[in-house]
Amino acid sequence: MSSPSFGDRLATEFAASRHLCAGIDPHAPLLSDWGLGDDAAGAERMGREVVAAAAGVAACVKPQVAFFERFGATGFAALERVLADARDAGLLVVADVKRGDIGSSFAAYADAWLTPGSPLEADAMTVAAYQGFGTLEGAFRHVRRHGKGLFVLAATSNPEAREVQLSRREDGRSVAAAMVDDALAWNAAERTGPVGSVGVVLGATLDLTAFGIDTGERERGPALPVLAPGFGHQGARIEDAGAIFGGIGHALLANESRSILVGGAEGLADRVRSRAESVAVALEERRV
């Protein structure tokens, strides 16, 4: 029996009004705020606490892998235990790894993060396709066979990215717009359900039209998953999601990290629940 697609699993979360993606970012200042050491043990404690608070409340969790990787082997061991907790809780995991390469090298990255049974197995991973959308082929087989997902960097809020993402291809489209179009086309070709399994990362603090991204209503087809950092601490308001994303924001994952992590373990579950409810209310009002 084939695995349900990542898009189908997202659709189940959305049907339950779960759209919050809870970030797990154990960097030094936050670990200090939690009274934890800046080490693998501290990162593990934070990660497992977030998973426990998010289970059944958020749509998914998104560990920023760099904050574990910096501790070497002990950091990866800590991350493995965080991922195991999430699997046991039935919680979707987006590994924020931002891997990008060509050929067998990218395929190996995909094998590490998307192979069922891998110690680092996640449900989806963030990827960079600036060497061409076709370089993601090594991950597409996991998407098709194992129900995994991808989130392709398209338009991010860091100013250093604008030069690349606003660059024009030979057909006149910006690189950012092409990433969105390519993801839409891939999902339309696969047509596995109401929500696609290949999504994009779009910053909620951006004017997407400035990147050449068409935010008008889409023709019928799988909804495009949009992983959107920038809500909460970074200043974007979830109430403005409709104006920000328009017709490409129907399968929205609102990523929040600092807004739920600042304050430490005490009150974490309440913060996650409060933000999850605020996101759900705002997006429900948008649909009405």
Amino acid at 17: S
Q: What is the largest CA-CA distance in the chain?
A: 53
Which of 147, 137, 219, 230 lies closest to 186, judged by CA? 137
Distances in whole angstroms, Cα of residue 259 to Cα of each of 33, 60, 170, 172, 270: 13, 16, 41, 38, 12
CB 230 within 8 A of CB 256: no
Spatial separation of the C-alpha atoms in residues 176 and 168, rounded to whole Å? 9
Question: Measured between alpha carbons, how far apart are the two ends of the chain, in Å?
Answer: 37
Using CA atoms of 44, 45, 48, 49 in order, give the dihedral in degrees to the nearest 10.
-150
148 is catalytic: no
Q: Which of 87, 98, 144, 146 is catalytic?
A: 98
Neighbours of 206 (CB within 10 A): 20
Region class of 2: left (phi > 0), else alpha (psi between -120 and 50), else beta: beta
Which of 232, 133, 135, 117 lies closest to 187, judged by CA? 133
- How many helices, marked H, and strands, marked E, lie in the chain? 12, 8
Tokens of residue 199, six digits = 């999504």
Positive or negative, the Cα torsion across 223, 227, 231, 234?
negative
Active site residues: 98
